[in-house]
Structure 1
Amino acid sequence: MRLFNVASVFSLTLAAVVQAISWTATPFNPSSIPLAVRTPYLSAWLAQGEGAALNDAWATFWTGMIVGWAGFVKVDGVPYVFMGTPSVPAAFSKATQKSSQFTSTKSIFVLSAGPVDLTVTFLSPVEPNDLVKQSIPFAYMAVSAAATDGGSHSVLVYSDISAEWVSGDNTLTVNWTSTTTGSILTHQVQLENPTVFGEINDHTQYGSTFYSTPNAVGATFQTGADVTVRAQFINNGKLANTLDTAFRAIEDNWPVFAFAHDLGTITTATTPVVFSVGMIRDPALEYIVAGGGTQSRNLLFMSEFTTSAAVISSFLGDYSAALARATAFDAQVQRDAGKISADYAAVVALSIRQALGATELTISKTATGAFNTTDIILFLKEISSDGNVNTVDVIFPAWSIFLYANPALGKYLLEGLFRYQATGLYPNAWSVHDLGASYPKALGHNDGLDEAMPVEESGNMVIMALSYAQKSGDISQLQRYSGLLNQWTGFLINDSLIPANQISTDDFAGALANQTNLAIKGIVGIGAMAEIESLLGNAAQSANYSSIAKSYVTQWRNFSASTTGAHLTLSYGNSSSWGLSYNLFGDKLLKLNLFPASVYAEQTAWYQTHANAFGVPLDTRHTYTKTGAYLGQTTVR
């Protein structure tokens, strides 16, 4: 399906945002480069601005708050900073970034430190076919060195994180421990007075951050004030193996947690020194259940690892295998998305960690306290807006990646929404907008006062439920929740052909009556329900829904046609208006073929003559657009 030439849109967009940078950026230099992105709370990025090298800026949380991640290297006794922008009362130089590259799972930087090149690889694993591994809230940084002049050079590597990782309020007091367990060195830091299920500035306010590395020959460690610990390495090439026990506020002499490795004398590329950073919360989320009570849910990996030390040891020990799996996944994405264009493949690759990094896989416990690994729910935080839990119209534009990576992820995303509404606690006839106003509290909306997107969310739920069943062959969710699906479809029959004044997923654009694109969503939802009833063996109901959907398409075509040009209107009767009719995606995704080919041809021709520098505007009310309207258009054929 093509509503517009997607490759052309991305070519225009990428050309417009390339910064004047001094290094080679592959496939392009994005607005922010993912470093450690696994969950809503383990989310570190390198914002680019006008173009920032790894040592031009601090790593930041997705909100823009600094998380504090520093790196130094000493080459033949000369210190260089390769990560972060630390201020240290000791002399050092700045490594020169030569290149940056991102894939679906990795961000790779090469920096020159005198006669040695450092390769710094940030790997945030995407493990869709191993849900336990996918649920582990950890990421890797690996550092290797190679001489560039054919000579031999001594190389020592240092890295630390700061206590900024554990809270959104730097005035709060933290405490920490450092341990050696088997062959692993670990620093652990947490708030002194945590708030379970609490947030400040979108940071979690409970749980622990862990920074770990193998306890190899030549490894040293230290905790303490940032300037003290970093100066120790710069001046001495190693750390003091000492622990600061003066627990204090995050911003009070900025406690950091550091490791150093002596790589010895090197010539060719060394085996990477590996660090892991992670954040564990127990429990992970609070979820409303039948009767209005709540259930504490845990991250899935806890069913296999009883201690933090055990999961850290397994994670670090798995680096080589994880890297191989990640490289294979990267290649698969490149092959598949590259069939559209190289630019499209690049944007898809950049999007994958962002989409999966907003989610967490959880399980419940039985009455005896044992983990119930058959009860999996995937939760998603609405990031960069209001922090809602499992927002239906945020899941929908990301739906393609879940279907692509592992359809079961989509099933587990929908399960929490279905299960809550099946309790009868939600009073409205349409689908709920989200599972809770503030992550990680999935407490529902028993008052029915969630943000109302009646046609949008009802259509989304029916479409996604069918698409999962089509992709997986599993109709169990359709069987279990057929009553809800019929209820929502009944609402769509009443309100989607001529939609009442309401908001859609483009809520930032405001409410509007008679939305052409929103009507498409509802009609596709009705057509989807016809297919669901067919799968469930209900031929008469299927035929009824199918007849309604086809009738609505005919009427919609008359309502939505412009009298002043060959295009669909933004809203019925306003011939000078138009917008992106991206909800046609559902018709193609489900292979319903409800809408005639002439509609697609007409819109394609119109959009090709109305593209601006950053793509086709979302609609005639504004000049902005959004990639979500494009990214899904060609991922399913």
Structure 2
Amino acid sequence: MKRTGGRSMILNQQVPSLPIIVHHPYLSLWLPAKELYGACIEHWCGLKRSINGHILIDGKVYRFMGVEGGKDVIEQVGIDLTPTSTSFYFENEQISLEVKFTSPLLLDDLELLSRPCTYVCFKVTSKDDQVHDIQIVIDMNQSHVQNGESLKPVIGETLTYETYQLGFLGQVQQNLLAHSGDGVGIDWGYLYMVLPNQEDVKGKIDSTQHLNEVRSKILNCEAKEDQGAGIVLHIDLGKVREEKEVYSLITYDEMLAIMYFNRALPPYWARDGKTIIDVIAKALDEKEEVLSRCKTFDKQLEDETDKLLGESYRVICTLAYRQTIAAHQLIEDEKGEVIFLSKECCSNGCIGTVDVSYPSSPLFLLYNTELLKGMLRPIFRFEALPIWPFKYAPHDVGRYPYATGQVYGLSEEGKYIQGKERIIEGGIGIYPNYTHYPKEKMIYDEHYQMPIEECGNMLILCAAICKCEGHTEFVKPYIEVLEKWANYLVSYGIDPGEQLCTDDFAGHLAHNVNLSLKAIIGVASFGVLLDEAGEKKKANQYKVVAKQMSKEWTDRARGKKHTPLSFTEPESWSLKYNLVWDELLELNLFDEKVKEQEVEWYMSKMGPYGVPLDSRVTYTKSDWSVWCAALTTDRSKAQKMVDAVARFLDETPDKVPFTDWYETVTGVHHLFRNRTVQGGLFLPLLRKYISKKTYE
């Protein structure tokens, strides 16, 4: 089965893990298998989140989702992945079944984007031209409302409204925003399964303390070990011969989403007092319109990426889309401004990390710059507090879901209180509220900061926003602090000392040539901002300095075949992904020959799954690899870069959400998964729109 007029994406293309229900870091469920019945659904970090699905055909039970319940399965014959939906196709001699999950993450509609509702649509058709009695049963257990495996006391209920019924489940004892951490689930709020009234369809929802008993009774199968409470959705489609469609809704009410600078704030959808019941009703009312909009967007993005760099580029952007967005949380602050906070998955769970926003930015520059501004506002706010006395930009504003002050690079004093170690890192403890600390309390270790990295990132991102919007309204309140950061780059950027950069997993590095690039482009970016703001004389001063820095960089870095990793090691090399902004921001600091020479060198270092990050290692980063594909106008070279990423997805042995850090020879992933940085894969598409250049 295939989409009408579309492509069936994954019959010959494998991906390691498929998005199922993805909205934000706590509601992010993935399938680590190719078959929907091949594995238990998991939270992005690997926690089991059981969802089981069965279809009864003339009373005979077949499992199509999950690993619990009936033994017999109905064979899966296809998968279809689009930017907003994942569909599975099943059939036997009697019927065909389509199960489609749509998380409508449309970036141009913040209200819809924040709505945590996934549509689950079922289509059943008779294959043998006979009438069949069809029932569908879906169940979700209490793992969705707790962090950890031990069963907690939960409460649930079934409610009937005029146009739908629902079942909900949540812990008896609720501590909102009860913990902070990286690979953790939620244990506050309520899970909801919703069944709307539909013509010629009977249905029942049961929120039960004894999930296995209820499921076993319906399916007439053996009840295994106690799974505690759960919700069971039982849909009776009656007699089916022609295609019949039915749908349900799965959602989660966090109640509170983020502790933001001393305020416990709800998700964006609840900012004006809306309840989850309001949101459910809206989602049901707008179902046809929303799904139509998703279909239109999916086709547009697929067509654009396919035309630009072929099937491989379409595949990687399609898989990256929902992941990138859903590793953020959208809120509104007390001033009514949009705040869009990333979770730095698999890296201590830092919130609002600047060098995560930087690589993710292309997706949001393409579709909604307001969201990128929502990433930067928290950084500007924290920077202005007494606890941050430095002349350079911060790294983050806390650890998810607590935006209460940077936690990266804490000093020993910051890690210890009254002589006792604060057992937080790697756990689920909550850091102190650093936003209250006085300037005399030095809690940060400068050796573990990223001064040039984050200053450059903030300046470049501000310039990119203003270029895409055509004005400088966003940066006007921040010109003074941006100038401070630009001056830092002028003073220290041309030949960086021993500093960390965004690739901090590789350790400290002095004389970093790529980091120097970022500094130069950051200085030039500030010149662009001043120019657009009408400060022509001052703008020219920074532009002249940036040009002088770029000349020195070229004289020192340009070799016969490539530029080095470090100014002091001419035979070394690295991916110079920061160069892309020279063209995107129309800075014209560097000769095009330098960029083409770099890409030619990368071709000589290409492994099965890409070009290593630098000459020290065999691993790479997917985001930086694809950025380098935008350094050239040679289509064949760019396609080789993106083909390697798609090949990795097809052949990696690790069944995790789209990792950005993996080995170029074996395809084994390194730690990272479900990270927002995959928004960087959209940079070649962004390039097409803002620099008007394409591949030849």
TM range (shorter): 0.7 to 0.9
- Residue 150 of structure 1 corresponds to which residue in structure 2? 129
- Residue 364 of structure 2 corresponds to which residue in structure 1? 402
1:337 aligns with 2:311: no
d(CA) in 2 for partners of 1:434, 1:24? 37
Equivalent position SS for 1:204: coil
d(CA) in 2 for partners of 1:627, 1:61? 22
CA separation of 1:528 and 1:126: change in aligned 2, threshold 3 A: same
Q: CA deviation at 1:500?
A: 0.9
d(CA) in 2 for partners of 1:467, 1:481? 15
1:120 aligns with 2:99: yes
Which of the numbers 588, 592, 616 marks the counterpart of 1:593? 588
Larger mean CA deviation between 299-308 and 97-106 belongs to 299-308
- Residue 416 of structure 1 corresponds to which residue in structure 2? 378
Amino acid at match of 1:281: E
1:359 aligns with 2:328: yes
Q: CA deviation at 1:148?
A: 1.6
Among the aligned pairs, what percent are the same residue? 28
Q: CA deviation at 1:600?
A: 0.8
- Residue 17 of structure 2 corresponds to which residue in structure 1? 32
User: Structure 1: any 5+ residue segments left out of the alignment?
Assistant: 1-22, 237-250, 289-293, 366-371
Contact 1:187 1:212 in 2 (8 A): yes
Which of the numbers 267, 281, 291 marks the counterpart of 1:299? 267
Contact 1:35 1:107 in 2 (8 A): yes
Equivalent position SS for 2:250: strand
Q: CA deviation at 1:226?
A: 3.1
- Residue 325 of structure 1 corresponds to which residue in structure 2? 293
d(CA) in 2 for partners of 1:24, 1:387? 32
- Residue 275 of structure 1 corresponds to which residue in structure 2? 248
Amino acid at match of 2:402: K
Contact 1:41 1:279 in 2 (8 A): no
Amino acid at match of 1:346: V
- Residue 166 of structure 2 corresponds to which residue in structure 1? 186
Equivalent position SS for 1:94: coil
- Residue 607 of structure 1 corresponds to which residue in structure 2? 602
What whole-Å deviation, never above 9, does each CA across 1:470-519 have from its counterpart, x for those lacking one?
Answer: 11124222101111111111111111100110111111111100111111
What whole-Å deviation, never above 9, does each CA across 1:207-244 have from its counterpart, x for those lacking one?
Answer: 222121214441012224332122122139xxxxxxxx
- Residue 426 of structure 2 corresponds to which residue in structure 1? none
Q: CA deviation at 1:567?
A: 0.4
- Residue 439 of structure 1 corresponds to which residue in structure 2? 400
d(CA) in 2 for partners of 1:275, 1:428? 52
d(CA) in 2 for partners of 1:75, 1:321? 31
Q: CA deviation at 1:26?
A: 4.8
Equivalent position SS for 1:559: helix
1:176 aligns with 2:124: no
Which of the numbers 180, 186, 194 marks the counterpart of 1:212? 194
Q: CA deviation at 1:305?
A: 5.9
1:41 aligns with 2:36: no
Q: CA deviation at 1:441?
A: 0.2
1:287 aligns with 2:249: no
Amino acid at match of 1:341: G
Q: CA deviation at 1:554?
A: 0.9
Amino acid at match of 2:191: T
Contact 1:128 1:405 in 2 (8 A): yes
Contact 2:96 2:124 in 1 (8 A): yes
d(CA) in 2 for partners of 1:304, 1:178? 26
Contact 2:157 2:168 in 1 (8 A): yes
d(CA) in 2 for partners of 1:304, 1:213? 26
Amino acid at match of 1:235: N
Provide the aligned C-alpha RMSD in A: 1.9
User: Structure 2: any 5+ residue segments left out of the alignment?
Assistant: 1-7, 407-433, 435-442, 631-683, 688-696
Equivalent position SS for 1:157: strand
d(CA) in 2 for partners of 1:465, 1:568? 27
Amino acid at match of 1:82: F
What whole-Å deviation, never above 9, does each CA across 1:334-378 have from its counterpart, x for those lacking one?
Answer: 12222122211110111010000011211235xxxxxx6x32211
CA separation of 1:27 and 1:327: change in aligned 2, threshold 3 A: farther
- Residue 185 of structure 2 corresponds to which residue in structure 1? 203
Q: CA deviation at 1:561?
A: 2.9
Contact 2:83 2:318 in 1 (8 A): yes
Amino acid at match of 1:551: Q
- Residue 502 of structure 1 corresponds to which residue in structure 2? 499
In the TM superposition, what are the counterparts of 1:510-589 in structure 2 within 5 Å?
A: 510-562=507-559, 565-589=560-584
Amino acid at match of 2:286: D
TM-score w.r.t. length of structure 1: 0.88
Amino acid at match of 2:188: Y
Higher share of residues assigned strand: 1
Q: CA deviation at 1:153?
A: 1.3
Which of the numbers 138, 142, 166 marks the counterpart of 2:145? 166
Amino acid at match of 2:174: P
Q: CA deviation at 1:320?
A: 1.9
Contact 1:211 1:278 in 2 (8 A): yes
- Residue 636 of structure 1 corresponds to which residue in structure 2? 686
